[in-house]
Amino acid sequence: MLKITDSIIKVKGIGPKKASLLNKLAIYTLEDALNYFPRDYAIQRAVIPIDKVRPGQDASIAASFNGKAGTRYIKGLSITSISAVDDTGSIDCVWFNQPYRAFNYKADTLYFISGKVNKKNGSMQLQNPLVEDYCKDKHTKDALLPVYRLTKGLRQGDLKNLIDKALECLKLQAPSNFDSYIDGASNLMGKCKAYEAMHYPESEKLLESARQRIAFEEFFHLQLRALYTKHFLSSSTNSLIIKVDSAKLGLFFASLDFQLTASQHRAIKDILTDFAGGRPMNRLLQGDVGSGKTLVAATALYAAKLAGLQGAMMAPTELLARQHLGALAKLFNRFQLRIELLVGNMPSSERDKVVQGLAEGKIDILVATHAILQEDIVFKKLGLVISDEQHRFGVRERAVLRSKGKLPHFLAMSATPIPRTLAQIIYGDLDISIMNDMPKGRIAVKTYCVRSSLRERVYRFVRNRVKEGEQAYIVCQLIEESDKIEAISAEELYIELKENYLRDIDLALLHGKLEAKEKELIMDKFIRGQIKVLVATSIVEVGIDAKDATVIVIENAERFGLAQLHQLRGRVGRGHKQSYCILISDTDQELALERLSTIVSTTNGFEIAERDLELRGPGDLYGIKQHGILDLKIADPIKDSKLFALASEHAQLVVSNISKEEYKKVLEESLAKNMTKDIVTS
């Protein structure tokens, strides 16, 4: 008998070829197949009498093929048609290139026939209809048919067959402790039924119940793992204690030409408390763009160094890594620290030096991109890992990073404010420090929304600012022209501006398709003021810090999500001059207008995030799902927040009501559920 965990290759009818196609969809086991949910459902209509069928409809009838079948050939194409009849009339059924249809059906037999209705030469036809034996129970109501995402060479039928096998298998299998627990403890649909209904829903209502059960389970496992990580970290006794040398840290603070903000004070205190506590820190630092997270990170790195440990700081792009390197070098310029950079494509001689320096413990701080994950990067004594823009790193990366040290302290930094309720779901295993104030003297960015008829005036404004020695970003959604999307592209606009409004101004084009070297060069020139105006895509969204940039113009602003607009605006207002954000949009769409007016009316990232929760524009809340932080297929952390609360309660209950031994068993089951294993494996 097949087990649900068996490889699909064991299933009859699946050979190496089909298996490799299925692997492309990340289906390796029967369980994967079970969890390969339809991307959509097509509605199959309940049968109606033929005289009620109308052109343009998707219609189903119960009829018999009593007429004569005929096949014509036109230019190698075959057209087979048979007339279908019921008590109310008749209709032609037509198939292209399926001549066997002419001999497929018995006379005087009732069939279920379903397809698109077309009018041809004054009479109606069903084109390429689906035909099956008529079954009164099944066909007299609307049905939802699963539609799966495919890959070339694979058909819907292949997936359906496999999923049917997996469903059978699930039914025969004894339920796990978990499943019995959830089945018994909640009012949710049973597990087998839920899987069946996900793939073959009998109604929208049942589909929703099934979705809830699966979502609940996803949340439950997520929470259980979070609780486990917390539990594991808080009970690990062999962690690195970082004793803080407050006198030396004081010297560092004294070297700054500004006072710490209250939030910075609080965040640093949180971190130092974790350091001293004897358990590995696992903390998220959330603060708006410009709130001064780098200084907090630097302080943590310095504290680690003073305790004789190495630190690593990861950034999602090379550009950002270089900026961090620059910022840290500046902050530490009066202190004896060796800071090095590690990026993907660096000369091997340079790389070798870094690798050696890390292994020998001579490098105090490493600033790096994903390149840090490579196997040969080994630290002598890694005490602290910081990842910037945490939402771009998955759980897996975090685990690899952790594995490079003996349970190093971990700090994630995110500039995308997320409401606390949501943060608890997404970062369930992390403690959270929030930075909700800004360094003194910062002048709030003025934001305006204008129609495109005013574009000329906007560019004249940009021009005037540049003449005053300031700089500007002009952001487009597209790199190049697209037939599908009506929005001005960066390339088009760059040419237009260069030939016209900004003719005599140093202008550059920046987008993701440029070579990394070239991007860097352009950014570098911009930061040094050699380029005055950057026409760019949202690539400038993360972290770029140019003090003289005072204007950001966002073209087709309706096409950006709230979080993205907020992040983009954060590119300006970083110096001491008044800055401006100008949104250009002609939209009349209500939700888009709501988003734009939100951005115009507030600069507080947490407020904007709350509003985003309510509106949910493009970009689906910071692209949390896309970035793969969460292994959620079905559950929606926003829509299903009540379900999350319930799942969370149950997870707590499970954890507090069972013995350590049982807990371990339950957890192992949970972890075996082909989910990413977090710290447990590291």
Interface contacts to ligand ADP, rule CB under 6 A: 258-261, 264, 287, 289-295, 415, 439-440, 545, 574
Residue 568 sits at φ, ψ, to 5 deg, of -60, -45
CA gap 50, 436 in Å, rounded = 66
Beta strands in 437-564 (DSSP E): 446-450, 471-475, 507-510, 533-536, 549-554
Residue closer to ligand ADP, measured from CB, 287 or 405? 287
Identify the helix (H) or strand (E) that includes residue 434.
strand 431-435
CA diameter of the chain: 98
- 173: alpha, beta or left, given left = phi > 0 and alpha = psi -120 to 50? beta
- Which is closer to ligand ADP, CB of 608 or CB of 671? 608
**In the bound complex, what is the minimum distance in angstroms from residue 296's beta carbon to ligand ADP?**
8
CB atoms within 10 A of CB 276: 12
Of 236 and 259, the one with the shorter C-beta distance to ligand ADP is: 259
User: Smallest gap, in angstroms, from Cβ of residue 596 to ligand ADP?
Assistant: 23
Nearest distance in Å: CB 540, ligand ADP: 14
Question: Minimum CB separation from ligand ADP for residue 391, in Å?
Answer: 14
Residue 360: CB partners within 8 Å, gap ≥ 6?
Answer: 380
Within 257-375, strands assigned E span: 282-287, 310-314, 339-342, 365-368
CB contact at 8 A, 283 and 429: no
For residues 509 and 507, what is the distance between their CA atoms, to the nearest angstrom? 7
Q: Show the beta-strand stretches assigned E in 5-157.
A: 40-44, 58-65, 70-74, 77-86, 89-96, 111-120, 123-133, 143-147
Q: Which is nearer to ligand ADP, 296 or 596 (CB)?
A: 296
Q: Is the CB of 197 or the CB of 267 nearer to ligand ADP?
A: 267
Q: How far is the CB of 294 from ligand ADP (least distance, A)?
A: 3
Minimum gap (Å) between residue 524 Cβ and ligand ADP: 17
Q: How far apart are CA 335 and CA 329, in angstroms?
A: 9
Of 65, 299, 37, nearest in space to 144 by CA = 37
Considering the complex, state which of residue 42 and residue 262 has its C-beta at the smaller distance from ligand ADP: 262
Q: Report the chain's C-alpha Rg in angstroms.
A: 30
Residue 439: count of CB within 10 angstroms of its CB = 16
CB of 259 to ligand ADP, least distance (A): 6
Q: Residue 549 gets which letter from DSSP?
A: E
- Find how far residue 74's CA is from the centre of its chain: 49
Identity of the residue numbered 210: A
CB of 468 to ligand ADP, least distance (A): 21
The nearer residue to ligand ADP, 223 or 323, going by C-beta atoms, is 323
CB 441, min distance to ligand ADP, A: 7
Distance (Å, whole) CA 255 – CA 213: 56
Would you tell me how many other CB atoms lie within 10 Å of the CB of residue 157? 8
CB atoms under 10 Å from CB of 639, counted, come to 12
- List the beta bridge partners of residue 126: 93, 117
CA distance 19 to 31: 14
Nearest distance in Å: CB 440, ligand ADP: 6
| Residue 480 burial (10 A CB sphere; 0-12, 13-18, 19+) | exposed
Are the C-beta atoms of 511 and 523 separated by less than 8 Å? no
Minimum separation from the CB atom of position 276 to ligand ADP (A) = 24
Smallest gap from Cβ 371 to ligand ADP, in A, equals 21
294 vs 310, which CB is nearer to ligand ADP?
294
